[in-house]
Amino acid sequence: MAKRRFIQAINDAMFEEMERDPRIILFGEDVEISMFGDTKGLRDHFGPDRVRDTPICEALLTGMAVGMAAAGWRPVLHMMFSNFMYTGFDAIANQMSKLHLMTGGQMKLPITVMAGFGGGRSTAAQHSDCPYPLFMNLGGINVAVPSNAGDAKGLFKTAVRSNDPAIFLEPGGRGGELGEVPDGEHLVSFGKAAIRREGRDVTIVAIGAMVKLADQAAKALAANGVEAEIIDPRTLVPLDEETILASIAKTRRLVIVDEARDRCSAASQIAAVAADRGFGLLKAPVKRVTVPNVCMPYAPVLERSVYPSSERIVSTVLALVSNQEAI
């Protein structure tokens, strides 16, 4: 085990994978200097053919990733902030997610599209979205949302080795956070949730940066005699439904923490799975701790009022276990 920062772990994964496979190409805006640090040093090491700054033209870049992959390369496209994926959404939604099926399986698309996402840092509405519900709905694209340095490395490696497109989202502002990264070759499979904490009273499914908040909440709850189990799905597509259902079977209560806007969030999907496949296991309604259906305001006091917090998780859980109607 080594202590690495979140962003270093991704950077390590990139170095190791690009070294291993000469067909991996990294491109995007300012990847050479690296705004977040995740692509730092790659240009010097691998040269301009394999690591390349692009003009600002997201609509073209996502299409280019498809063309490069169809022509036998393994592109990694860095989109900087996930909001800019909307500018490049056409080729993601109309080409990348569909062409494997549309060509009858002829076109393999080993593409990784990466970006930072999420709020909490006063970056305001156009730099703090949480777009994974859109990608989850496309089909044909895997969606990885690491919550810690070790998973970031392992999930990134799985993404670039896969022959299918993957969206890899790094929780924004978490780059400096230290975490344990296993030594040697470290891969994390897609579709395998992690149980971050065991508990008997309530299951908290928390996504990405929400795992840390859930962990803080679990400590506060324990002080109140409530033992929470925390599940980190790690990938939203594929989603490890079995691990979530097994946990509900034990705790019989489910709270989902997601920093997407509430409507049609990943939390909505997980709640639907629980209702559909776990109805008989539940003894309380499923609750979602999400961002309400507003876009992220700028002022820290406003942002805090809508962003999920450990306090909100705690009060939601306490209301559930005391059998009151939760917020």
Partner 1 sequence: MRNDYQNPSQETLLAMYERMLVIRETEEYLGAQFRAGELPAGVHLYIGQEASGVGICAHLSDEDWITSTHRGHGHFLAKGGDPYAMIAEIHAKADGVCGGFGGTMHVADLSRGILGANGIVGGGLGIATGAAFAAKLDGKGKVAACFFGDGAANQGTLMEAMNVASLWKLPLLLVCEHNGWSEFTRSEVATSGNILDRAQPFGIPAQEVDGNDVGAVWRVAGEMIEAMRNDGGPGLLLTHTYRTRGHVEAEINFLSQSYRSEEEVASWEARDPLDRAVALLAETGMATEEILVVRERVKTLIDAAAARAQAAPDPDPALVKSMMFSEVDAW
Binding region for partner 1 (CB under 8 A)? 25, 49, 54-55, 57, 59-73, 75, 90-91, 94-95, 99-109, 139-140, 142, 162-164, 189-192, 238
Nearer Cβ to partner 1, position 163 or 322? 163
Residue tagged active-site, from 45, 100, 127, 186: 127
Q: How far is the CB of 46 from partner 1 (least distance, A)?
A: 12
Q: How far is the CB of 58 from partner 1 (least distance, A)?
A: 9
Q: How far is the CB of 39 from partner 1 (least distance, A)?
A: 18
Nearer Cβ to partner 1, position 103 or 224? 103
Nearer Cβ to partner 1, position 238 or 300? 238
Tell me how many degrees the CA angle 163-7-22 measures, rounded to the nearest 5.
40
Q: How far is the CB of 73 from partner 1 (least distance, A)?
A: 5
Q: How far is the CB of 94 from partner 1 (least distance, A)?
A: 5
127 is catalytic: yes
Which residue type sits at 254? L
Nearer Cβ to partner 1, position 164 or 227? 164
Q: How far is the CB of 277 from partner 1 (least distance, A)?
A: 18
238 preceded by cis ω (within 30°)?
A: yes
Nearer Cβ to partner 1, position 59 or 302? 59
The 3-class secondary structure across the chain, one letter per residue, is CEEEEHHHHHHHHHHHHHHHCCCEEEEECCCCCCCCCCCCCHHHHHCCCCEEECCCCHHHHHHHHHHHHHCCCEEEEEEEECCHHHHCHHHHHHHHCCHHHHCCCCCCCCCEEEEEECCCCCCCHHHCCCCHHHHHHHCCCEEECCCCHHHHHHHHHHHHHCCCCEEEEEECCCCCCEEEECCCCCCCCCCCCEEEECCCCEEEEECCCHHHHHHHHHHHHHHCCCCEEEEECCEEECCCHHHHHHHHHHHCCEEEEEEEECCCCHHHHHHHHHHHHCHHHCCCCCEEEEECCCCCCCCHHHHHHHCCCHHHHHHHHHHHHCCCCCC
Active site residues: 127
